[in-house]
Structure 1
């Protein structure tokens, strides 16, 4: 059978067009795939950037309190907007190399009406729903303008006369270093010096950080803060309950404190102001570490009985 040159030309042209179409379709598909992968990577990068930006756009927790003047606080140990050094991280909570050494601090430029200071460290981003108070020192006299490094040691001998360390959220009257859990991102540690117009808060060492802050709010005349954004990769928080690194707990038995909490305040105890119309507040619940270690009534018992006002 004879095939005309015209027919061959038409078939060849058709095949050429088909091959060209297939080539361009394949190339277009590869390009689309490449574009999709690039877009996905860009989206992930943007998400990470947004997450980082979101963290740094979180409000300063002190912005929710009435505005007061600031003054100057500096440290030879920590730097504003730099991570906490290793010594200021928590060995008690299992950070490798952490030593729970409180930073050196010095301050100046506070109001003349200042009668005492409070020094604290707070992590608003701790995975608790209410942040975590690492350190609170009350009743620092107005004549003191510095704290040496490790003044926050247990049973410290380098705090100014009259100063009292609160138990904090770890239930220990000492400085507890930073310990951001793995995957929780950057934590902003607020190291704060608060100037008060009263020489003593009248609050005991077992007062919670939240209640303490509420109580001193109306007496605050100025505040200065160093912020240390810190993250630790791969760190698993070690519970201090019963651990060998757990310092000695307060001598007053937890069972006694539990009974005091569930009943009237101890004789002579100051009854703190209460928010709203909730009535007079009771003494603070004992630290969980003390309940577990000292064989106090079960946590369920403490919760179900609670302060009389809640029964």
Structure 2
């Protein structure tokens, strides 16, 4: 079941860390994907692939992403994918990436399913440094939140391997703003 309170509490905590920001004159800070519209279901190709888990029915090809209008003073970005309904009560961190240079304005489809010099890989719940798509059991869909955070940190400021919680702590006082989108999935 969709836990609005849990997601709202998480969103409020993230907003408190990121602080508020004014949209730049040319528009609001946005994260978009041609492969995953906000609130829409993941394509099967973007779902996790793990032969030992019957809920991983996809190809694990990461969706393409692009972003625009970062807040003034942004030096790098962090991008995380989190499933608040997975593995109660803590949720599942599917991807943690940071140290993304301000010159990078997106990722091509499949680009973050493997290591890249465009981001520093953190550590997901599955102990991976790259994207790992949903492996949702049948039933109510889970909600996968992608959060892009603009930071005032240089891309090389943080060591590889941070977990989601460690990254959020490291970004305290360094976040310029955040944007995101949500995808859904459950095994057909």
Q: TM-score range by the shorter chain?
A: 0.7 to 0.9
The structural deviation recorded for 1:57 is 5.9
Equivalent of 1:174 in 130, 145, 148 = 130
**Residues of 1 paired with 2:54 and 2:155: CA distance?**
35
Relative to its length, the structure with more helix (as a share) is 1
Asked if 1:73 is matched to 2:31, the reply is yes
Bigger CA radius of gyration: 1
**Gaps in structure 1 of 5+ consecutive residues:** 1-50, 234-311
Q: Indicate if the aligned counterparts of 2:56 and 2:134 stay in contact, CA closer than 8 A.
A: no
DSSP 3-state at the match of 2:72: coil
Partner of 2:73: 113
DSSP 3-state at the match of 1:149: coil
Equivalent of 2:99 in 119, 139, 150 = 139
Superposed counterparts of 1:1-311, under 5 Å: 55-56=3-4, 58-60=6-8, 61-65=10-14, 66=16, 67-69=19-21, 71-92=29-50, 93-95=53-55, 97-156=57-116, 159-160=117-118, 163-183=119-139, 185-200=140-155, 202-233=157-188
Q: Mean Cα displacement is larger for which, 110-119 or 128-137? A: 128-137
Q: How many residues align?
A: 176
Q: Indicate if the aligned counterparts of 2:44 and 2:59 stay in contact, CA closer than 8 A.
A: yes
Distance 1:95 1:209, change over 3 A: same
Relative to its length, the structure with more strand (as a share) is 2
**Residues of 2 paired with 1:106 and 1:178: CA distance?**
20
DSSP 3-state at the match of 1:194: strand
Distance 1:59 1:128, change over 3 A: closer
The structural deviation recorded for 1:68 is 2.7
**Residues of 2 paired with 1:231 and 1:68: CA distance?**
33
TM-align CA RMSD: 2.1
DSSP 3-state at the match of 2:179: strand
**Residues of 2 paired with 1:205 and 1:57: CA distance?**
32
**Residues of 1 paired with 2:166 and 2:38: CA distance?**
27
The structural deviation recorded for 1:56 is 4.9
**Gaps in structure 2 of 5+ consecutive residues:** 22-27
Q: Indicate if the aligned counterparts of 1:193 and 1:224 stay in contact, CA closer than 8 A.
A: yes
Q: Indicate if the aligned counterparts of 2:148 and 2:178 stay in contact, CA closer than 8 A.
A: yes
Q: Indicate if the aligned counterparts of 1:125 and 1:188 stay in contact, CA closer than 8 A.
A: yes
Distance 1:82 1:190, change over 3 A: same
The structural deviation recorded for 1:143 is 1.2
Q: Mean Cα displacement is larger for which, 173-182 or 188-197? A: 173-182
**Residues of 2 paired with 1:218 and 1:179: CA distance?**
34
